Amino acid sequence: MSQQVAVVTGAGSGVGRAVALELAGAGWQLVLAGRRADPLRGTAELIGAAAPGGRPAAVVPTDVTDPAAVDALFDGTAGRFGRLDLLFNNAGTFGAPTPVEDLGYEQWRAVVELNLTGAFLCAQGAFRLMKAQRPQGGRIINNGSISAHVPRPHSIAYTATKHAVTGLTRSLSLDGRPYRIACGQIDIGNAATDMTAAMTTGVRQADGRTAAEPTMDVADVARTVRHMAELPLEANVQFATVMATAMPYIGRG
C-alpha cells in the first residue's frame, strides 16, 4: 500500500483527520486538504508521530468551493506523486439549525457551496486525474450522511445537499465505469467529533423535544473507509451506513 496516494479533504479535524490517520497507518501516502493550514499541519504531525521515518503527509490548504484552488490541489498531487488512487471527499458543514422560513439566502448558499459544489469540484478533479493516469483508474468515496436518508428538524440546506451527494455518487459510479473509477458513499451517524459534541448534551428531536443521543468512536468510521478504499477496483461498496447503534435513526420522525 505504500505506493498508493490518497487526497483527504476536510483533513484538519473530525472524520477527515481520523481517516487520514487510519490510511497513513496502513501505508498510504496522504495529501491533506482543507481551508485552514494549522489544523492540517496538526494532522500531518500526528501522522509523522505515528509513523516516524515515513514519508511526510503533504499539506495543501484548499478552499474546495474555489475551482482554481481545487485545480491546484489535483495538479499538485499529480506533479508530486504522479497519480491518485483515492479521494475521500469529506469537506462539509452542518450550518446552523434554522427553521425553513427563517433561513437566509446566504446561509443556504454557504452550505450548498461547500457540501455540494465543493464535493463536485473535488470529484471532478479526481476523476480527470484518474482517467488520464496510467494505469488508469482509482476510487472516490463521498462522505454522505444519515441525512442523505432522513432529515433532522431545521436542517433543510444540509439535508438537501446530502441527498444531492447521493446523486453525485451514483453518477460518478456510472460515468467512471469505462475508466476503472469506482465511487462509493459512506453515510455516518453520530460519530464523536467536535462537530457532533452537542449530541451528548441534547439536540432537537422530530417531536420537538431536546434529547441527548448516543455516539460512536470516529475510529470506527475510519476503519470502514479504509475497508472501502482497499478493495480491488473490480469490487465496490456502493453505499455504507455506519452509525451509533442506539441513535434515533430507524424510526426518526
What amino acid positions are annotated as catalytic residues? 158
| Packed helices 118-132 and 67-81: angle between N→C axes, nearest 10 degrees | 30
Rounded Cα distance, 70 and 220, in Å: 29
Nearest residue to 172 via CA among 187, 183, 161: 183
DSSP, residue by residue, 167-197: HHHHHHHHHHGGGTEEEEEEEEE-EESGGGG
Supply φ then ψ for residue 66, to 5 degrees. -105, 110
Contact between residue 167 and residue 116 where contact means Cβ atoms under 8 Å apart: no
Residue 101 burial (10 A CB sphere; 0-12, 13-18, 19+): exposed
The contacts of residue 37 (CB under 8 Å, 6+ apart) are 59, 61
How far apart are the two ends of the chain, measured CA to CA in Å? 43
